[in-house]
């Protein structure tokens, strides 16, 4: 059983704890949160008491020999520094997305964990969705034929609920509207299916939000393997997460997180539905198995760094007024030549 400290007990930090334990009792045999690091203990106390988490500072968690790993659920700009500090203290690290806001920072965090011989795992939870795994298998098996285009949409009303001074709304943590927090999931999914991105052209607008955050952000991608791509995030509409991949034989679409529809060029269509799946529990248990050395965490760090590089290029394109930006860094090509 891996003993972990949760760092940040906001909305998502609590979600991660609840995914693997109930009232302090582990749900499985892989990972158990025993400590929590927060800055404001009063707000976190009721939850921490219920989950039997010892409250303290990040620094106290790092020097506690009874903590094997830290799980970072903190603002984006804090991630790379906290990863480096945890690695230097000999802790394994699970960190929420995005790993960093620049490729240089992402590579530095990855290098720190490698130098310390510690596991670094990213919370790209949508990779664990059974419907997404099925879509990816279809693409890699060539069932859609040569891939022409892929597109992803992630939308919600999140921006309408943020306070004007929320970290999530500011340029330091969310420099491209919803692309930083939400679109990074879409970018990661497309990189997992289609491999590295060559260049990006992006735009971002504030149509309705009155806080300092864009609500309407989109990026056109060109993949090195040939296809085009499009990723959009909206911060002031109804919630949806969708993904479509178009090939010369037909297309596959995830209209939501639990369905996959495959439509052949003839018009024949098959709909597959999958049970609701706890991706947070799956990713944390995969992290624990990687810490024990039983398996490799299934999100390659090359892909993670490349996703950050695409995000950075998108931000640069937005700031330049829409200039096409090439993407630094390398990701693996998951299907040499099949699309």
Q: What span, in angstroms and rounded, lies between the C-alpha atoms of 293 and 295?
A: 6
As measured in angstroms, the least distance from the Cβ of 92 to ligand NAP is: 18
* Contact call for residue 40 and ligand NAP (CB under 6 A): yes
**Around Cβ 172, how many Cβ atoms within 10 Å?**
10
Task: Using CB under 6 A, pick the residue from 55, 56, 78, 89 that binds ligand NAP.
Answer: 78
Q: Which is nearer to ligand NAP, 301 or 325 (CB)?
A: 301
Residue 11 makes contact with ligand NAP by CB under 6 A: yes
* 112 near ligand NAP (CB under 6 A): no
Supply the DSSP string of 139-154, one letter for each residue: HHTTTT-SEEEEEEEE
Q: Is 306 in the site for ligand NAP (CB under 6 A)?
A: no
Give 158 or 223: the residue with its C-beta nearer to ligand NAP. Answer: 158
Q: Residue 204, interface with ligand NAP (CB under 6 A)?
A: no
For 267, counting Cβ atoms within 10 Å of its Cβ (0-12 exposed, 13-18 middle, 19+ buried), the class is exposed
State how far the alpha carbon of 218 is from the alpha carbons of 59, 177, 213, 228, in Å: 38, 9, 14, 14
How many other CB atoms are found less than 10 A from the CB of residue 50?
13
> Please, which residues have CB within 8 angstroms of residue 104's CB and are 6 or more apart in sequence?
none
| Cβ contact 278:285 at 8 Å | no
Q: Is 96 in the site for ligand NAP (CB under 6 A)?
A: yes
If binding is defined by CB under 6 A, does position 298 make contact with ligand NAP? Answer: no
57 binds ligand NAP (CB under 6 A): no
75 is a contact residue toward ligand NAP (CB under 6 A): yes
User: Contact between 68 and ligand NAP (CB under 6 A)?
Assistant: no
Interface residues with ligand NAP (CB under 6 A)? 8-13, 38-40, 44, 73-76, 78, 96-97, 123, 125, 167, 181
């Amino acid at each position: 059983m891996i003993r972990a400290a949760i760092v940040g007990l906001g909305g998502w930090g609590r979600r991660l704890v609840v995914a693997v334990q109930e009232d302090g009792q582990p749900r499985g045999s892989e990972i158990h949160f025993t400590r929590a690091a927060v800055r404001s203990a009063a707000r976190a106390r009721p939850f921490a008491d219920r989950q039997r988490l010892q409250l303290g500072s990040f620094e106290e968690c790092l020097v506690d020999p009874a903590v094997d790993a830290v799980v970072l659920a903190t603002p984006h700009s804090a991630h790379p520094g906290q990863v480096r500090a945890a690695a230097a203290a000999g802790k394994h690290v699970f960190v929420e997305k995005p790993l960093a806001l620049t490729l240089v920072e992402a590579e530095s965090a990855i290098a720190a964990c490698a130098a310390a011989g510690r596991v670094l795992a990213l919370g790209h939870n949508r990779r664990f969705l059974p419907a997404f795994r099925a879509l990816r298998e279809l693409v890699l098996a060539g069932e859609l034929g040569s891939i022409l285009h892929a597109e992803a949409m992630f939308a919600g009303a999140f921006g309408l609920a943020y306070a004007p001074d929320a970290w999530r709304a500011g340029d330091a943590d969310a420099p491209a509207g919803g692309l930083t927090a939400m679109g990074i999931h879409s970018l990661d999914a497309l990189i997992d299916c289609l491999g590295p991105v060559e260049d990006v052209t992006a735009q971002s607008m504030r149509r309705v939000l009155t806080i300092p955050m864009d609500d309407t952000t989109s990026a056109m991608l060109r993949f090195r393997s040939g296809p085009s791509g499009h990723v959009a995030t909206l911060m002031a509409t109804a919630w949806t997460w969708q993904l479509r991949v178009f090939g010369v034989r037909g297309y596959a679409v995830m209209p939501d997180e639990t369905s996959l529809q495959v439509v052949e060029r003839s018009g024949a269509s098959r709909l597959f539905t999958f049970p609701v799946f706890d991706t947070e529990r799956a990713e944390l248990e995969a992290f624990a198995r990687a810490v024990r050395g039983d398996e490799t965490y299934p999100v390659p760090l090359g892909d993670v760094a490349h996703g950050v590089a695409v995000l950075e290029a998108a931000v640069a394109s937005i700031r330049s007024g829409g200039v096409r930006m090439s993407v630094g860094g390398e990701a693996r090509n998951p299907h040499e030549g099949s699309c």
